[in-house]
Structure 1
Amino acid sequence: MIVRIMGEGQVELADDHFTELNKLDDELLAEMESGDEAGFRRTLAALLDAVRRLGAPLPDDALEPSELILPAADATLAEVRDMLSDDGLIPG
C-alpha cells in the first residue's frame, strides 16, 4: 500500500504492518475523543515514526496514487479530526 505523510512524501508499506499501525490508530482515536492533547501528540508521532520505519520511501519524482494519507507531524487535533473516518485514520 502506498501511504503519503502530508508534507513529507510517500512510502510503500506491506499489508502485514497494518496490525501494528491500527493499534496506534485506535489509541490516537481514543485520545482525540477524550481531548488528550499530550497523548494525541505522542501517539501521532509514534504512528508517523512507525510508518517511516516500516515503509520503503518512494523517490520524490514517483507519481504513485496514495491509498492512505496521514497528517503531518505538526497537524492540530482539529485538523486530524477532519481527516478521520469512522475507522480512524487507517481503515480496518
Structure 2
Amino acid sequence: MADMVVRIMGEGQVRLADSHLAELNKLDDELLAETESGDEAAFRRTLGALLDTVRELGAPLPDDALEPSDLILPSPDATLEEVRALLRDDGLIPG
C-alpha cells in the first residue's frame, strides 16, 4: 500500500495511506462547493472535518523530518479567501 505525506500549514506533516484518498476527496469536494458559494459556516465545518480526518488517519512525522509534501492543506484558521486561492479546479486534493 502506498502512502503520501500531507502538510497542514502551521502544524506539520503526517504520513497517510493512499487508501484514505476517496474519503478525503469527498470532504474536499464539499469544501470546493462551499468556497464557491461563499458559505462561511459550512466552509469552517468542512475544513475542520477535513483536517481532523487527516490528523486521525495519518501518522505524524517528526518536526525535524524534511520530506517533500505530496499535499498541502490550509491551516485550521485559514480564511475562505485564503483557501479559495489554494484551490485548483479539482479542489485541494487532486483526483
* TM-score, structure 1 normalization: 0.99
- Paired with 1:51 and 1:29, the residues of 2 have a C-alpha distance of 17
Q: Deviations over 1:12-68 (max 9, x none)?
A: 010000000000000001111111000000000000000000000000110100011
Within 5 A, what are the aligned runs for 1:57-72? Answer: 57-72=60-75
Matches of 2:51 and 2:28, distance apart in 1: 10
The aligned residue for residue 18 of structure 2 is 15
Q: Which runs of 5+ in 1 are unaligned?
A: none
Identity of aligned residues (%): 82
* Letter of the 2:81 counterpart: A
TM-score (norm 2): 0.96
Alignment of 1:30-45 (within 5 A): 30-45=33-48
Structure 2: stretches of 5+ with no match in the other structure: none
**1:49 alignment partner, one of 52, 68, 90:** 52
